[in-house]
């Protein structure tokens, strides 16, 4: 009886967790419309600063909606191919206040799941922010729950070959100087990712 109750509780927790991370249709439609309206403008060779800022503001604030718009599930999401986020994120970073940019990217990384292409571009942009300003990055992480922070580290080390992407000694030192929790989590998550890489 006790095992049955525990299994029912686990199923309920999993269901609630899935609901929390879902992207509601209304939110999805709102962001998709705004981003789609800017797609051709951000694809030009010299994108206006106001367009880049508008695109950044139109991005959703969570990974579930980001992935529903840019990812690849059973089929490509509406903006899976265009615009190319690998090219766009550095341009946005050059015109948006760094703190706003870092906070949004970290928010998008919570519960993120790596795949190539657009979510790969997101991961690379987040990693670039960590490498550029580790102290600020970790100060943002410190405001998250431990589980949310762990999911950000998991996203950062989730590429197929994490052993090729360790934190530099200087970045790791700064992470550890700012937060004991971030220090421990970054090392644990990276070690697990490398271990999983070598067992596959």
Q: Is residue 62 part of a domain?
A: yes
Is a pLDDT exceeding 90 seen at residue 104?
yes
Residue 14: CA atoms inside 13 Å, Cβ hemisphere, count?
6
* pLDDT over 80 (residue 188): yes
Residue at 77 is within a domain: yes
- The alpha carbon torsion through 126, 89, 96, 141 (nearest 10 deg) reads -10
β-partners of residue 72 are 76
Tally of domains in the chain? 1
pLDDT of residue 8: 38
- In this structure, is residue 15 part of a structural domain? no
Q: Give φ, ψ of 97 to 5 degrees.
A: -50, 135
* 75 domain residue, yes or no: yes
Tell me if 82 is assigned to some domain.
Answer: yes
Q: What pLDDT score was predicted for residue 21?
A: 62
- Assigned domain for 192 exists: yes
What domain range is 131 assigned to?
A: 25-199
Enclosing H/E stretch for 129: helix 118-132
* pLDDT tens by residue, 140-154: 999 999 999 999 999
Residue 37 lies in a domain: yes
Please report, in angstroms and rounded to a whole number, the separation of the first and last CA atoms in the chain: 37
Which percentage of the chain shows pLDDT scores above 70? 89
With pLDDT > 90 as the criterion, what percentage of the chain qualifies?
80
* Residue 31 CA neighbour count, 13 Å, CB half: 23
Chain segment 128-178, per-residue pLDDT in tens: 999 999 999 999 999 999 999 999 999 999 888 899 999 999 999 999 999
Average pLDDT over residues 21-34: 93
Say yes or no to pLDDT of 97 above 70.
Answer: yes
CA distance 81 to 95: 23
């Amino acid at each position: 009886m006790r095992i049955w109750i525990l299994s029912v509780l686990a199923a309920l927790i999993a269901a609630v967790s899935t609901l929390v991370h879902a992207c509601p249709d209304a939110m999805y439609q709102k962001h998709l419309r705004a981003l789609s309206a800017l797609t051709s403008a951000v694809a030009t060779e010299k994108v206006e600063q106001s367009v880049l800022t508008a695109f950044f503001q139109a991005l959703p604030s969570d990974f579930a909606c980001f992935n529903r718009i840019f990812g690849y599930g059973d089929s490509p999401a509406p903006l899976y191919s265009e615009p190319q986020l690998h090219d766009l994120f550095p341009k946005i970073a050059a015109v948006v206040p760094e703190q706003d940019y870092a906070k949004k990217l970290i928010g998008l990384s919570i519960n993120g799941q790596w795949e190539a292409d657009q979510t790969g571009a997101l991961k690379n942009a987040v990693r670039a922010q960590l490498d550029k300003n580790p102290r600020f990055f970790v100060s943002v992480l410190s405001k998250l729950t431990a589980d949310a922070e762990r999911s950000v580290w998991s996203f950062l080390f989730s590429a197929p070959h994490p052993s090729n992407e360790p934190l530099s000694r200087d970045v790791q030192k700064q992470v550890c100087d700012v937060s004991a929790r971030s220090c421990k989590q970054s090392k644990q998550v990276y070690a697990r990712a490398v271990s999983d890489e070598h067992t596959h």
